[in-house]
Amino acid sequence: MEVYRMISVSQILSTARRRLERATKPGELCPDGSFYRIILDTIPSPVFVTGENMRILDCNARARKLLSKEQTLMIDFRAGEVLHCLSAVEGCGKNPVCNECVIHEGVIAALRGKTEERRKAKMRLLIDGEIKEAFFLVTTAPLRHNGRDLVLVILEDISELTRLRTLLPICASCKKIRTYEDYWQSTDSYFNSTLGINFSHGFCPECLRKLYPQYADKIPRAAGEGHFAG
């Protein structure tokens, strides 16, 4: 999973809500080619529209890509079911732990007219036949369309960021990092693939004196702290 961060949740909610409320075709929330559809599909995080029964009525392109499903295969299913939440094996909302689900709580709050922004949620999902932990920031907001009470749900995937804030399994010898898929990656490669960070290499003063003592006194301290390469 990738990490996504919304720049302005309030602005997105306001724009999407206005477009939904102005839609004129009964039963059609977002016609292809409409301005609302363009806005919805531009949002870089999964977005769902649910009804009073918490079943999905619509979603954006990122949601379809995340779940590798066509839109028609998600309509009328609940969020836990399309996300393959382990707590939804018997049906999303039927497990006692569902009452503590952030998405579940947020949808109920939105149906009562309350907006909740970026609440952290931890979920155990079945992905490619394996049980994995996923972390999301969940935003839910109420909206009205054709006299119906609907809910806009935005999921920001922060799984990689959350793992980076916890202990990373690293080899005591070669310093490679074990990934979530149980693959060992070099430190440089790991941070580049997860956060897009590139490293520049040099020598700290101690290593410079140890490896290149003949140059240690000739190179200015600032240069030795990151710009000297042997």
Q: Does 32 fall in a domain?
A: yes
Are the CB atoms for 136 and 158 separated by under 8 Å?
yes
Beta strands in the chain (DSSP E): 47-50, 56-59, 116-127, 130-145, 148-157, 177-178, 184-185
Q: What is the pLDDT of residues 43-70, one digit of tens each?
A: 888 899 988 778 888 888 888 887 766 6
Taking CA atoms, 220 is separated from 44, 199, 211, 216, 227, in Å, by: 46, 21, 16, 8, 10
Q: DSSP labels for 71-90? A: GGGTTTSBHHHHTTBGGGTT
Domain boundary among 144, 163, 182: 163
Instruction: Tell me which H or E stretch contains 62.
Output: helix 61-67
Q: Does 19 fall in a domain?
A: yes
pLDDT band at 223 (very low <50, low <70, confident <90, very high): very low
| Same structural domain, 155 and 172 | no
47: domain range? Answer: 9-163
Q: Does 4 fall in a domain?
A: no
User: What's this model's pTM, rounded to 2 decimal places?
Assistant: 0.59
Domain boundary among 163, 184, 203: 163
- In percent, how much of the chain has pLDDT > 70? 74
Query: Could you identify the residue written with the tokens 């999921």?
Result: 155
